[in-house]
């Protein structure tokens, strides 16, 4: 399998945080050779000052940095809500550190020196995850916008019908006619873009449960 194939379909940006200038340059060259964008940083503070990582990106992060550790960077990103997939690199790692990083959501933990193919495989996996997360976040945003377009009464009707209550039961709950509930129900289905009742229930689960 070619190097390009290992990251095929995963176009995006790799953010490299590495204090060794020679390794930083080598990593940048390798990543660019397979058609990916690269941004490099020599310290944790420089990376964190750069702002939020782009949506379709992954982070190649050295554990041992001159200011903050890679694990601390991971904690800062997690606290800020960033979900950027992280690949750790270390020449000083141990089992405890590896487990800690993986449990906190790291994609991979690569001990130096590592093979180019192993790194590219990890980057392909990380960018694939980033793409899925980006799509999920976009879908959630669009769903939230559709829900926000509902009137207060339509939201009440939606909450009633997704729990399995009949139109007449929802009407009694709200003190309105059954015909009014039917009208609101049709509007809810249209505004939410729901093809079926089951579809609407799944949307409600994402809005109010997840």
Q: What is the pLDDT of residues 51-84, one digit of tens each?
A: 888 888 999 999 888 888 888 899 899 888 888 9
Give the residue range(s) of CATH 3.40.50.2300 domains in the chain: 3-137
What's the pTM?
A: 0.73
Q: How many Å separate Cα 196 from the centre of its chain?
A: 28
According to DSSP, residue 15 is labeled E
**Homologous superfamily, domain 3-137:** Response regulator (3.40.50.2300)
155 touches 181 (CB < 8 A): no
Please name the residue that has the structure tokens 């960077």.
73
**Coil vs helix vs strand at 39:** strand
Give the residue range(s) of CATH 1.10.10.10 domains in the chain: 149-208
pLDDT at 39: 95
The whole-angstrom separation of Cα 119 and Cα 140 is: 31
Count of CB atoms situated within 10 Å of the CB of 133: 15
* Over residues 167-194, mean pLDDT: 95
Is CATH 1.10.10.10 the right assignment for the domain spanning 149-208? yes
pLDDT at 209: 47
């Amino acid at each position: 399998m070619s190097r390009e194939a290992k990251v095929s379909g995963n176009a995006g940006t790799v953010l490299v945080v590495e204090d060794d200038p020679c390794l930083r340059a080598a990593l940048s060259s390798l990543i660019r050779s397979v058609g990916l964008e690269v941004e490099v940083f020599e310290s944790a503070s420089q990376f964190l000052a750069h702002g939020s990582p782009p949506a379709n990106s992954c982070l190649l992060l050295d554990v041992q940095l001159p200011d903050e550790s890679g694990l601390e960077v991971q904690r800062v990103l997690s606290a800020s809500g960033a979900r950027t997939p992280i690949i750790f690199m270390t020449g000083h790692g141990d089992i405890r550190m590896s487990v800690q990083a993986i449990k906190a959501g790291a994609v991979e933990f690569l001990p130096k020196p590592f093979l180019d193919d192993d790194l590219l495989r990890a980057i392909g996996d990380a960018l694939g995850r980033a793409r899925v997360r980006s799509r999920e976040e976009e879908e959630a945003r669009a769903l939230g916008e559709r829900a926000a377009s509902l009137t207060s009464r339509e939201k009440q009707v939606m909450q009633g019908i997704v729990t399995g209550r009949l139109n007449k039961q929802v009407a009694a709950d709200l003190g309105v006619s059954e015909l009014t509930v039917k009208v609101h129900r049709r509007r809810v289905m249209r505004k939410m873009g729901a093809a079926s009742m089951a579809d609407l229930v799944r949307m409600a689960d994402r809005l109010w449960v997840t």
